[in-house]
Amino acid sequence: DTAVSQTPKYLVTQMGNDKSIKCEQNLGHDTMYWYKQDSKKFLKIMFSYNNKELIINETVPNRFSPKSPDKAHLNLHINSLELGDSAVYFCASSRSLVGEAFFGQGTRLTVV
Amino acid sequence: RKEVEQDPGPFNVPEGATVAFNCTYSNSASQSFFWYRQDCRKEPKLLMSVYSSGNEDGRFTAQLNRASQYISLLIRDSKLSDSATYLCVVNRMNRDDKIIFGKGTRLHILP
């Protein structure tokens, strides 16, 4: 019974396409996140979503937009994909902004 | 100075040895601290939280030194299965609500 699940696990797409990654958590947590891990394995937060408040990392291009239909879901939509968007994207959730985070298995995005 | 810094390693350590690594942070307003473990091509998983009084979980001991702004992780009697990347996480609760991961320290336990 997966606590944080994201789909798809692998995504290969062409430059310029629009794609979405879905994330769901069944832990009853109030906070969800999207992280990007690049080829150098550096894990960087993109967004956090807590009680309907979205906190955006200012370095994230506006081609990336998170969408939260409810507290258990935080999807990531990416417009006009670029080669540099290739990375592993992790969804995570935590009870609060200071609590430990539980991660999904990651989505390996490859833009060709 | 980077917000969270770790020695990237790799640390190559024989099985059974004790290994320790530190993580320094730059912002004194940081409030919560964690160590995560990440295996190759897997998601990060919480190893342990780091409390002001220090905490121990089996072979693992974590400590926080607020004065010098670092946290440490000590692994005793290392096992082959301890081979992984260890990520330091610093969480600062203010308007920025920043959660920062270190780049990780790679640990290889050698048979």
Per residue in B3-21, pLDDT tens?
899 999 999 999 999 999 9
The rounded mean pLDDT for chain A is 91
Candidate from A3-12, A57-66, B59-68 with smallest mean pLDDT: A57-66
Choose between B37 and A54: higher pLDDT. B37
Taking CB atoms and an 8 Å limit, are A43 and B99 in contact across chains?
A: no
Q: Is A41 close to B104, i.e. CB distance below 8 A? A: yes
Cβ of A33 and B32 within 8 Å?
no
> Does residue B55 carry a pLDDT above 60?
yes
Predicted local distance difference test score (pLDDT) of residue B97? 57
Tell me the average pLDDT of chain B: 91
Q: How far is B16 from chain A (nearest CA, A)?
A: 28
pLDDT for residue B36 is more than 90: yes
pLDDT for position B96? 56
CA A14 to chain centroid: 19
Confidence of residue A4 (pLDDT cuts 50, 70, 90): very high
Per-window interface: B 30-89 vs A, CB < 8 A: 31-32, 34, 42-46, 49, 85, 87, 89
B93 contacts A43? CB cut-off 8 A: no
Mean pLDDT of the A45-58 span: 82
Query: How much is the pLDDT for B93?
Result: 62
> pLDDT by residue (tens digit) across A14-44?
999 999 999 999 999 989 999 999 988 888 8
- As a whole number of angstroms, the distance between CA A49 and CA B61 comes to 32
The alpha carbon of residue B98 is apart from the nearest alpha carbon of chain A, in Å, by 9
- Measured CA to CA, the distance from residue B65 to residue B83 in angstroms comes to 25
- In chain A, residues with a C-beta closer than 8 Å to the C-beta of B34 are 100
Tell me the percentage of chain B whose pLDDT exceeds 70.
94
Q: Is the CB of A33 less than 8 angstroms away from the CB of B43?
A: no
pLDDT in tens, A61-109: 999 999 999 989 999 999 999 999 999 999 999 988 777 899 999 999 9
Mean pLDDT along residues B69-98: 87
pLDDT for res B58: 96
Are A36 and B101 in contact by the 8 Å Cβ rule? The answer is no
B101 touches chain A (CB under 8 A): yes
User: Confidence band (pLDDT; 50, 70, 90) for A51?
Assistant: confident
Choose from B2, B32, B99, B106 for mutation: most chain A CBs within 10 A: B99
Q: What is the pLDDT of residue A53?
A: 82
Average pLDDT over residues B52-81: 95
DSSP string across B38-104: E-TTS--EEEEEE-TT-EEETTEEEEEETTTTEEEEEE-S--GGG-EEEEEEEEE-STT-EEEE---
User: Are the Cβ atoms of B45 and A103 closer than 8 angstroms?
Assistant: yes
